[in-house]
Amino acid sequence: MPRMTYREAVRSALREALQTNPRVFLMGEDIGRYGGAYACSKGFLDEFGPERIRDTPLCESTFVGAGIGAALGGMRPIVEIMTVNFSLLALDQIVNGAATLRHMSGGQFSVPLVIRMATGGGRQLAAQHSHSLEVWYAHIPGIKVVAPATVTDARYMLGLALQEPDPVIVFEHALQYPMEGNLDESPPQDLFRAAVRRAGNDVTVVTYGGSLWKCLQAADQLAEQGIQAEVIDLRSLRPLDMDTVLTSLKKTHRAVIVDEGWRTCSLAAEISAQIMERGFYDLDAPVARVCSAEVPIPYARHLEEAALPRVERIVATIKELLAHHE
């Protein structure tokens, strides 16, 4: 299996989209001459030209809206918003526009738009550059939300997203770009199916995106202590593949959700509610959540570490859960 970084996987996916579909073009801030804030499109300006690699002014709302218009007009735009933090400036276009147009027009218009954005904390960038607001978008009917957590998914989920006739938001955790992983030989076929990343019988760990590697590390530590955690990577946040979660729960009877968003009104809260609704009688212990502390993410390293989900906290939470109803 070839090894590559997450960034290389994203680049490879973007390049393939540009090479295979003449209607695909990239649009966003500093994606061209600068090469992308995370270097995902470095060199593309020379390779594909300024018509298809479009540096925009700093106007998130308008270049996202222009992406909607271009999609309506027959193009296949991939819009990059530098980070989820800046996407708040484009919320109206995404929520009132892209998400509503099909239904509000009685099914007349599809908006085949892909929006990529980096998310997450962990780089000492303080409160305005460390948000994990995936759940805000996962709340909205009319858009689909995915979060590739592995190199293979980073390489292939974009292509699947581009086959969708509806708006898809792709979240890439900013810490992941330099991380290396194996590229599987067989590409995933389904954009919206969760994946069991590690099998186990003792506890189900539900996570996604940039928290996956933390959960896998936690599972490794627990395995040394004889605890086998089953780690589920949701991959898609809307729709949610709860069947995979509930199937696992029937085996483990315990669930921990690890989500870098704040706990209140989080994706973890939604998953927990669905487990209660559909898997209540399979539970041997209350569902546990490991989320970010309810605080704007601070700058100082020790405080930021304390605010975000950590491997030790995941391990401790799982051990508490297992001790709970032995």
Partner 1 sequence: MVTTGAISAREQSHGLLRHMLRIRRFEEKSAELYSAGKIRGFLHLYIGEEAVAAGAIPLLGADDAIVSTYREHGHALVRGMSAGTIMAEMYGKANGCSRGRGGSMHLFDAALRFYGGNAIVAGGLPVAVGLALADQMQGHPRVTACLFGDGAVDEGEFHESLNLSALWKLPVVFLCENNLYAMGTALERHEAQTQIYAKADAYGMASAIVDGMDVLAVHQAMQVAVDHIRAGKGPYLLEARTYRFRAHSMYDAELYRSQDEVNEWKHRDPITLFTTKLQQESLLTDAELAEMEAQIAAEVAAAVAIAEAGPWEPVEDLLKDVYTCPA
Is 226 among the residues that bind partner 1 (CB under 8 A)?
Answer: no
Q: Which stretch binds partner 1 (CB under 8 A): 97-105, 115-123, 206-214, 248-256?
A: 97-105
- Of 55, 142, 40, the C-alpha closest to 101 is 142
Minimum Å gap between C-beta 84 and partner 1 is 19
Kindly give, in sequence order, each residue whose CB lies less than 8 Å from that of residue 20, ignoring residues fewer than 6 positions away: none
Could you tell me the smallest distance in angstroms from the CB atom of residue 208 to partner 1? 16
Structure tokens at 133: 């607001």
- Give the shortest CB-79-to-partner 1 separation in angstroms: 10
- Please, which residue, 239 or 286, has the CB nearer to partner 1? 239
Q: How many whole angstroms separate alpha carbon 227 and alpha carbon 203?
A: 8
Report the residue number, 59 or 316, with the smaller CB distance to partner 1: 59
Toward partner 1, which CB reaches closer, 110 or 274? Answer: 110
Binding segment toward partner 1, per CB under 8 A, in 66-74, 194-202, 217-225, 297-305: 66-74
Under the binding rule (CB under 8 A), the answer on residue 6 touching partner 1 is no
CB contact at 8 A, 258 and 245 = no
Q: How far is the CB of 126 from partner 1 (least distance, A)?
A: 24
State yes or no: residue 109 binds partner 1 (CB under 8 A).
yes
Give dist(CA 251, CA 109) in Å, integer: 43
Bridge partners (DSSP) of residue 173 are 119
Binds partner 1 by CB under 8 A, chosen from 102, 139, 310, 319: 102
Q: Is 235 or 254 the residue whose CB approaches partner 1 more closely? A: 235
The vertex-278 CA angle with 276 and 283, nearest 5°, equals 55
Q: Interface with partner 1 includes 161 (CB under 8 A)?
A: no
**Residues 67, 122, 209, 309: which binds partner 1 (CB under 8 A)?**
67
The reply on whether position 138 binds partner 1 by CB under 8 A is no
39: exposed, middle or buried (Cβ count in 10 Å: 0-12, 13-18, 19+): middle
61 binds partner 1 (CB under 8 A): yes
Binding region for partner 1 (CB under 8 A) out of 58-66, 215-223, 266-274, 303-311? 58-66
Of 193 and 278, CB closest to partner 1: 193
Q: Which is nearer to partner 1, 65 or 200 (CB)?
A: 65
Task: Classify the C-alpha dihedral 28-30-32-35 as positive or negative.
Answer: negative
Is 221 one of the binding residues for partner 1 (CB under 8 A)?
Answer: no
Indicate whether 274 belongs to the interface with partner 1 (CB under 8 A): no
106 binds partner 1 (CB under 8 A): yes
- State how far the Cα of 161 lies from the Cα of 87, in Å rounded to an integer: 19
Angle at 37 between CA 32 and CA 40, to 5 degrees: 70
Separation between Cα atoms, residue 188 and residue 20, nearest integer Å = 19
Catalytic residues: 60, 129
Note the residues at the interface with partner 1 (CB under 8 A): 25, 51, 56-57, 59, 61-75, 77, 92-93, 96-97, 101-110, 141-142, 144, 164-166, 191-192, 236, 239
